Amino acid sequence: MGFLLYFINNILSQPIFILGLVVVIGMLAQHQPGSKILPSTLKAVIGFTMINVGGQTLGTALLPLQQLIAHIFHMHAPASSNIGATQVASLTDIGTDMALIFACGFVINLLLARFTPLKFVHLSPHVSFFFAGLIAALLKFGTDLNFPVRVAVGSVLLGLYMTLSCAYVNLLIKPVRGADGFTLAHSSSSGLLVASLLGKFLGNKDHDLEDLKLPGKLNFLRDMTVALTLVMMLLFLILGLVAGPGFTMSKVAAGKGTVVFAITKGIEFGTWITVILAGVRMMLAEIIPAFHGIAQRLIPNAKPGLDIPLLFPQYPTSVIVGFLMSLTTGIVGMLILAAAHYPIIVFPALIPTFFTGAATAIFGDAHGGRRGAILGSGANGFILIFGQALLLPMVGTYAPIMRILSETDYCVYGPLLGGLLKIMHLN
């Protein structure tokens, strides 16, 4: 058991090994020589690492905004500067359950893809790993089920989630540009459904957000890196000034002036966006052709589920609008909960707000143009904040990491599962 847990926690839970193995198996199925397999595998995992490290560091760069927003509204933001330490502490009581649910859930996803019409392989292990933790926490703290039963039930739930979320996102992704050959395996899937429906019924597909006309002198803003860098500079500057230059300098900026702090943070954000975009190009060039071998020989007609940043290059404006809209409605939701004297302090989790806000705006735009992007990402911000409020009392010691990483599916399916377990009186 010790070796199995070590293998799961240190190898299977590392996305680069999963993706590397997919490339190797896919290219072997196509009878490619080793001289092609090795460089393709390395390029795929390097590309993914650029996306993953870029996303994590970009998310960490957003965390000072929490302190500024909390100070502006006279609230106490949850401590979240050290994500790694928070993650380790959150896994103390559920680590074994989580690891086994993750491994067995992935096997169930593969079996469903091989033997049912749901031909989707979930290839975002970092997403399913934390979702396994959510399921483990709900079963551990919300029921009296014994360890083997928790693992069995949790594995089935995770395998179904990995398969079904890819399946219904695949139905929604058809009008999305740049999504040929894959679906999404991301924990914003429920938000994507909401955004797509809002866009379809309340939006206007003829007015694409990405076709927004700019004066000739502002055409440089069509470059995603430039636009996001400037937007983040402006956001940090405005919030820093509103929070007060003295507070910003002493408590947030480590002695830097507000203007210097805003400029450096904006450039930092732009740097990691550039890394992500470069990783997207490198990974897609290798993973899609390699997966054709798996789809042809091992899991017929299979489709890979990949991460949301792969769509960013096609929707630069939607990424910006989605983040800002989700952040705005998240702050509104936070103030509503505070005014209602909700017993738990709930604060917008900025890393999920950026990525799920971008994702819902992309799908809202694809289905309903500008109005769809705004409505979809705005609804996403409310789901994140109110869903987190319902989720936190249910997950025990897993709550600290959920305050940082609770994306839309955590905030929708978590409370639903927790409520169902309560109704079933398993405790």
- DSSP code string of 180-217: TT-EE--TTHHHHHHHHHHHHHH--TTS-GGG----GG
Place of tokens 């789901």: 383
Residue 84 or residue 213, greater confidence: 213
Measured CA to CA in angstroms, residue 403 lies from 77, 224, 226, 252, 390 at distances of: 10, 28, 30, 20, 12
φ/ψ of residue 141, rounded to 5: -95, -10
Tell me what the mean pLDDT of segment 66-88 comes to.
74
d(CA 10, CA 103): 12
- DSSP code string of 247-302: HIIIIISTT--HHHHHHHHHHHHHHHHHHHHHHHHHHHHHHHHHHHHHHHHTSTT-
Cβ atoms of 27 and 44 within 8 Å: the answer is no
Is pLDDT above 70 for 9?
no
The predicted pLDDT at position 16 comes to 79
Residue 400 or residue 326, greater confidence: 326
At 53, which amino acid appears? V
d(CA 389, CA 307): 26
d(CA 395, CA 230): 38
Tell me what the mean pLDDT of segment 296-322 comes to.
91
d(CA 357, CA 379): 9
The predicted pLDDT at position 216 comes to 65
Measured CA to CA in angstroms, residue 48 lies from 21, 23, 106, 132 at distances of: 13, 12, 19, 21
Band of residue 322 on the pLDDT scale cut at 50, 70, 90: very high
Give the contacts of 164 (CB within 8 A, at least 6 positions apart).
118
pTM of the full structure: 0.88
Residue 427 or residue 260, greater confidence: 260
Band of residue 91 on the pLDDT scale cut at 50, 70, 90: confident
φ/ψ of residue 306, rounded to 5: -120, 180
| Complete edge-to-edge strand list for the sheet that includes strand 183-184 | 120-122, 303-306, 183-184
Nearest to 233 by CA among 221, 217, 215, 216: 221
| Tally of CB atoms within 10 A around 413 | 22
| Tally of CB atoms within 10 A around 91 | 20
First-to-last C-alpha distance (Å) of the chain: 27
- 121 forms beta bridges with 304
Measured CA to CA in angstroms, residue 308 lies from 44, 267, 312, 381 at distances of: 16, 22, 7, 17
The predicted pLDDT at position 19 comes to 81
Is pLDDT above 60 for 81?
no
Helix (H) or strand (E) holding 303: strand 303-306
Is pLDDT above 90 for 99?
no
Tell me what the mean pLDDT of segment 270-292 comes to.
86
Is pLDDT above 90 for 121?
yes
